[in-house]
Amino acid sequence: MSNGNIEEAPRSTAASVRGDFVVTGVSKRYGGVPALSDVSLTISPGTVHALVGENGAGKSTLGKIMSGVIPPDEGTMSLGGESLSFKSPRDALSHGIVTIVQELAIVPGLTVAENVYLGVEPSTAGFVRRRQSRRQFRELAKTVGFDLSPDRLAGSLSIADQQKVEIMRALSRNASIVIMDEPTAALSGGETEALHGIIRSLVRDGNSVVLISHYLSEVLALADVITTLRDGELIRTVDAKDATEETLIEGMLGHSLSSAFPEKVVAQEEKPVVLEVEHLQAPGVNDCSFVLHEGEILGIAGLVGAGRSELARAIFRDSKVSGGSVRLKGKDLGGHSPSRSIRRGLVFIPESRKEMGLLVGRSVKENVSLSRLDLVSRLGWITGIRERRKVNEVMKSVTVRAASIRMPVFMLSGGNQQKLMFARSVMCSPNVLIADEPTRGVDVGSKRTIYDLLTEMAGSGMGVVVISSDLEEVLGLAHRVLVMRHGRIITELSGEGINEQAVLAAAFAESTNKGTVPS
């Protein structure tokens, strides 16, 4: 500003606007395939309105339309009786509507504070006031209860901390309508409770929160109104007090779900060891040892930052190992690259499908065949017919739903993207599969499909390692459980000893004596 006065970070001019946000007859198609069909709903001030449904049901598409990310093909929207037409998220923000998207959108080369206030930085005469930005950041961080340094590069943060940056960015805009797409997927229990407190505070102040979540217990605990979508169509909208997990699942799937987890099949006799890890040392990993048997599902539990993902990456040779050994079927894995691990029969599904797992701009076919080009090529040239046949075969085995194997991966739902990584793994015919957060961001139906896949893989003789922040998932799938803390394996649980109390006791204990469960 030419007069030298401080220009405060812009505030939404509509932050104080109160009125129903009405969506009427909204439809959206991609390549002729309907993502939404004639959806109508009303979001009232001072309420949490939840959207539930399977992956591909249209929840995120509806959230993107309401927040100006994409335009509808048909239908209208209004706020407090005023007709709305958005050309961009900035248009939506000018009306007090902001979104926290499921796929993280941070700028890795900027600091945490710069990411939070990106586009709304406090400035004077066009120059950003960094000291004021950091002060505002610390005040906001204290309010929401997140422990983040404003000066740290966002790209160096864990997935969970990057999610916190996204949440703080949305809250810094002082919007009256906040759309949250899977906001707690990467947060720990304590951080999730803190976010729930923020949501309740927003609603008490008369704001509206649109909550898109696969955690039905979270939906029932927070929501006032719940809308269920299935295959792009609105199935029903009900008061949360009239809903249960069973009725929500039935609405989402079109039928009831008899059990969340497949039945555990326990071997009558101990199977041969397929993976041996001895005294492994790597960044975030301190002297870890364990064995994995054929046909076994081994769960690894622990708090955020305990070293679970670091252990997986070290075994897979995706990080620098400074000591110890890994043997696959009795032979030293050796090498210093993931490609060698894959060739030897060890595959890894990382926790972030967007950042570490998939080439989202490339086709489904390319993403699946990438891991074993030797199977679909001849004399160094990819054979199209062979590639299509093999890709269709493995996609069918893991039930990936895609209109065409030529379509780009970003057009798939989150659940189908996740299953695509399983298809790539199946392509490798591995002896060992390590899956880090295998069901993060997927719906209850896709979760069960993935659980069945993991169980079937173990049933075929493969050794499976499941790393998950969802304790119920670990308990429901694993034959044995390792609990980690501070980069070490604290204890091993098996049989009747696998229970929530034992896992939590070990995870929170100060003792680091492996093999004992602190009382």
Of the pLDDT bands very low, low, confident and very high (cuts 50, 70, 90), residue 6 is very low
What pLDDT sits at residue 125?
A: 59
**Residues 176-188, mean pLDDT to the nearest whole number:** 81
| pLDDT for res 285 | 94
Say which residue, 22 or 511, is predicted with more confidence.
Answer: 22
pLDDT of residue 193: 82
Q: According to the model, what pLDDT value does residue 363 have?
A: 87
CB-side neighbour CA atoms (13 Å) of 44:
8
Write out the E strands in 200-333: 208-212, 225-230, 233-239, 273-282, 285-293, 297-302, 323-328, 331-332
- Where are the chain's structural domains? 21-253, 259-345+430-519, 364-428
The residues that bridge with 210 in the sheet, in sequence order, are 49, 179
**Half-sphere exposure in the Cβ direction for 225 (13 Å, CA):** 16
For residue range 68-125, what is the model confidence (pLDDT) as tens digits? 999 999 999 999 999 999 988 888 988 889 888 766 678 888 888 888 888 766 666 5
Q: Which of 114, 227, 109, 128 is nearest to 172 (CA)?
A: 114
* Of residues 14, 67, 62, the one with CA closest to residue 38: 62
Please answer whether residues 210 and 180 qualify as being in contact, where contact means their C-beta atoms are separated by less than 8 angstroms. Answer: yes
21-253 CATH choice from 3.40.50.970, 3.40.50.300, 3.20.20.70, 3.30.465.10: 3.40.50.300
Q: Is the pLDDT of residue 22 over 60?
A: yes
- The answer to whether 236 and 228 have CB atoms below 8 angstroms apart is yes
Altogether, the residues listed in the chain come to a count of: 519
Contact, 120 vs 113, CB < 8 A?
no
Task: Check if 21-253 and 259-345+430-519 are the same fold.
Answer: yes
CATH class of the domain at 259-345+430-519: alpha beta
**pLDDT 10s digits, 209-267:** 999 988 888 999 999 999 999 989 999 999 999 999 889 988 888 876 667 788 887 77
Is 483 a residue whose pLDDT tops 90? Answer: yes
- pLDDT of 337-363, one tens digit each? 888 898 889 999 998 877 787 888 888
Residue 497 pLDDT > 50: yes
Over 80: is that where the pLDDT of 451 sits? yes
Report the chain's mean pLDDT, rounded to a whole number: 84
